[in-house]
A = this chain, B = another copy of it.
């Protein structure tokens, strides 16, 4: 049975958790603005003084880690959604992109951090056997293997097509970030799917598929 004490404890815990997330989001803004953001920067962005951050995180490392986990979880969750076999590859691809891009639209700064880390070749953490890029690459290739037929990929290795997908995603994202008043990135999903499926040459309208 819940006593008053329990309820109060619960409320406190919830508030603390909220603060933790607030700080992580502030950290995302700070890192998006400056890759070398200091604890000072993060604190300023969060509206706290530096020592206060240490009441919620043991170290800067833990903040960065927390931010990574947050981003990773959101990003990876798109891959775990159901993609019914009844859908075509194009439809599945559009669905995957829309799921991901919705996150991006909502958490612009957070994803900026993720993308930056994607390009960090030397994994900062020596104990990490694989770089963030490699992990993502494996995950995308796996998704390809599960949700496509060899024909979908024109007989190419899923790994290669995964690189194509990641590349398009990344450049569209960075370009979008550079815009002053960015429109919804989700609206670009159709174009991205088109480019991913048919490349620069575009769909072959002049062949038997056209009416």
Contact = CB atoms under 8 A, between A and B. Distances in A.
Nearest to A134: B178
Interface stretch (A14-22, A52-60, A150-158): A150-158
Nearest to A144: B200
Contacts of A200: 89, 93, 152-154, 156, 161, 164-165, 196-197
Nearest to A35: B120
A206 B207 contact: yes
Interface of A: 32-35, 89, 93, 112, 115-116, 118-122, 124, 131, 133-134, 137, 151-156, 160-161, 163-172, 174-175, 177-178, 191, 194-209
Given A171-B170, A201-B198, A160 B191 contact: yes
Contacts of A167: 164, 166-172
A32 B199 contact: no
Nearest to A175: B163
Contacts of A152: 200-201
A164 B155 contact: no
24 contacts: A32-B122, A33-B122, A34-B122, A35-B120, A89-B201, A119-B170, A121-B178, A134-B175, A153-B200, A153-B202, A154-B202, A154-B203, A155-B202, A156-B200, A160-B191, A163-B175, A166-B171, A167-B168, A168-B168, A197-B199, A197-B201, A204-B204, A206-B207, A206-B208
Contacts of A204: 204, 207
A153 to B, nearest CB: 6
A154 B208 CA distance: 14
Given A170-B170, A199-B199, 19 more contacts: A34-B122, A35-B122, A89-B201, A115-B119, A121-B174, A121-B178, A133-B174, A133-B175, A133-B178, A153-B200, A156-B195, A164-B167, A164-B195, A166-B171, A167-B170, A195-B199, A196-B200, A198-B198, A198-B199
